[in-house]
Amino acid sequence: MFTQVKELYASLGVDVELALAAMAKTPISLHCWQGDDVVGFETGAGALGSGLAVTGNYPGKARSIDELRQDLEQVLSLLPGAHRLNLHAIYGDFGGEAVDRDAIELKHFQGWIDWAKQQGIGMDFNPSNFSHPLADDGLTLSSPDEGKRDFWIEHCKRSRKIAAAMGEQLGSAAVTNVWIPDGMKDMPADRQSYRQRLSDSLDEVFSEKLDTAHNIDAVECKLFGIGSESMVVGSHEFYMGYAMKNQTALCLDAGHFHPTEGIADKISSVLMYVPELLLHVSRGVRWDSDHVVLFDDQTQQIMQELVRCDALPRTHIGLDFFDASINRIAAWAIGTRAAQKSLLLALLEPREKLRAAELSGDYTTRLALLEQAKSLPWSVVWEEFCKRNNVPGEMALLDSVKSYEASVLSGRH
């Protein structure tokens, strides 16, 4: 069947093997925080805060680094293609010691780097400016309190250096993404001062030049959060301006805009002026920005734009969702595979035909081709991709998840 499908696509000017080769070399960065509901491994780790909320109490959550690695290995065994690990600073190996955020060191992450090397994957990193007593008032890098600002600046500086070491050791640059929760529940009287302080703090964080072969800096905006409904200091305009001026990467999280606003259309604009893009592929539902990614219009449009703009070489694809109301391994695998299926569909688009129709003003043909592409047998190509990578196809995925639940997760109490 695959051979026939290949011929069908060839008749439309699409080279299926080229699409599969592109799939194989496009890594998706797996966010570690789906595995344990964004808790991490700090000694005495407390409740999730700073506007981040996880719903659900599905049994089997990873309670230790070993369990999280075991789960990640399981997830990796369910995913075709290339992957990376995206780690938050709170997931270090602190050996039972109380290591505050302004004291993290490379040694706390060496175990993760060694594990990643063993898995043959790269890593990405994030300072964790949330769920901490010094973030409880909702302000970190933009705080009017100099002591608090300095604490979070130090945390971010150390995070970049740790990430650079990860990148160097693994031979693949780590993207360090700065997201902060800073904002106001109610109307601020002086928005400007927060933004000025954030800009100054970021300048300080990024003041040490690091080799971009090892570390790539990214900044992530948000429209509103829980508890920051009236103002988010790091808004889209703020970070787009900052990233353009300082030529950092810009992170677009699919759940961080107005509920009807997608990020797909932003890609071609933003890449005119910033060197690189980081995506947090996610799914916003009303006020929550982090539902499990689906093979839906939004995700497909994002991937279409990456392919159509030839933006893959300048884009780092990461994920950002967390759901504790279902099996966490399933959430990870289903969400990541949905992003990958969307990318595959985009790569299988009859691009040349679409462009030719558009250029000649034949929008009727363009619309017809787009509709036709949706019902072409792309899923046969997906199954082939899974088969070549020795991972379960769509029909076998759930069984794999359930058997891991029965043999491993159900024993965690």
**Applying CB under 6 A, which residues contact ligand RNT?**
33, 38, 126, 179, 220, 222, 253, 280, 289, 320
Kindly tell me which of 179 and 385 has the beta carbon lying closer to ligand RNT. Answer: 179
* Of positions 61, 160, 197, 280, contacts Zn ion by CB under 5 A: 280
Contact in structure between 264 and 301 (CB atoms under 8 Å): yes
For Zn ion, the binding residues in 371-400 under the rule CB under 5 A are none
DSSP 240-258: HHHHHHHT-EEEEETTSS-
Kindly tell me which of 126 and 142 has the beta carbon lying closer to ligand RNT. Answer: 126
Phi, psi at residue 278, to the nearest 5°? Answer: -115, 130
CB under 5 to 8 A by kind: which of Zn ion, ligand RNT, none does 321 bind?
none
Q: Would you count residue 320 as binding Zn ion (CB under 5 A)?
A: yes
Kindly tell me which of 101 and 280 has the beta carbon lying closer to Zn ion. Answer: 280
Q: How far is the CB of 359 from Zn ion (least distance, A)?
A: 36
Asked about 67 being catalytic, the answer comes back as no
CB under 5 to 8 A by kind: which of ligand RNT, Zn ion, none does 222 bind?
ligand RNT
Asked about 253 being catalytic, the answer comes back as yes
Nearest-5° Cα angle at 212, 129 to 107: 55
Contact in structure between 336 and 293 (CB atoms under 8 Å): yes
Query: d(Cα 201, Cα 54) in Å, to the nearest integer?
Result: 29
DSSP 33-94: GGTTTT----TT-----TT-------S----SHHHHHHHHHHHHTT--S-EEEEEEGGGS--
Kindly tell me which of 33 and 41 has the beta carbon lying closer to Zn ion. Answer: 33
Active-site entry in 36, 154, 305, 320: 320
Query: d(Cα 273, Cα 279) in Å, to the nearest integer?
Result: 16
Active-site entry in 42, 71, 182, 253: 253
Structure tokens at 71: 């789960």
CB under 5 to 8 A by kind: which of Zn ion, ligand RNT, none does 41 bind?
none
CB under 5 to 8 A by kind: which of ligand RNT, Zn ion, none does 38 bind?
ligand RNT
Kindly tell me which of 200 and 229 has the beta carbon lying closer to Zn ion. Answer: 229
Closest to 302 measured CA to CA, from 332, 331, 272, 268: 268
Asked about 256 being catalytic, the answer comes back as yes
* Of positions 217, 253, 305, 384, contacts Zn ion by CB under 5 A: 253
Query: d(Cα 33, Cα 103) in Å, to the nearest integer?
Result: 21
Q: Would you count residue 124 as binding Zn ion (CB under 5 A)?
A: no
Asked about 405 being catalytic, the answer comes back as no
Active-site entry in 179, 332, 378, 382: 179
Structure tokens at 134: 């010094």
Asked about 320 being catalytic, the answer comes back as yes
Active-site entry in 100, 105, 150, 288: 288
CB under 5 to 8 A by kind: which of ligand RNT, Zn ion, none does 126 bind?
ligand RNT
Count other C-beta atoms under 10 Å from residue 189's C-beta: 7
- Of 110-118, 246-254, 262-270, 367-375: span binding Zn ion (CB under 5 A): 246-254
Contact in structure between 331 and 292 (CB atoms under 8 Å): yes
Asked about 220 being catalytic, the answer comes back as yes
Query: d(Cα 305, Cα 252) in Å, to the nearest integer?
Result: 13
Contact in structure between 87 and 125 (CB atoms under 8 Å): yes
Kindly tell me which of 20 and 198 has the beta carbon lying closer to ligand RNT. Answer: 198
Kindly tell me which of 36 and 71 has the beta carbon lying closer to ligand RNT. Answer: 36
Active-site entry in 124, 154, 182, 220: 220
Contact in structure between 346 and 306 (CB atoms under 8 Å): yes
Which distant-in-sequence residues (6+ apart) come within 8 Å of 172 by Cβ? Answer: 84, 122
- Of 61-69, 195-203, 313-321, 322-330: span binding Zn ion (CB under 5 A): 313-321
Residue nearest to ligand RNT (CB): 179
Q: How far is the CB of 115 from ligand RNT (least distance, A)?
A: 20
- Annotated catalytic residues are 179, 220, 222, 253, 256, 280, 288, 290, 320
**Footprint on this chain of Zn ion (rule: CB under 5 A):** 253, 280, 320
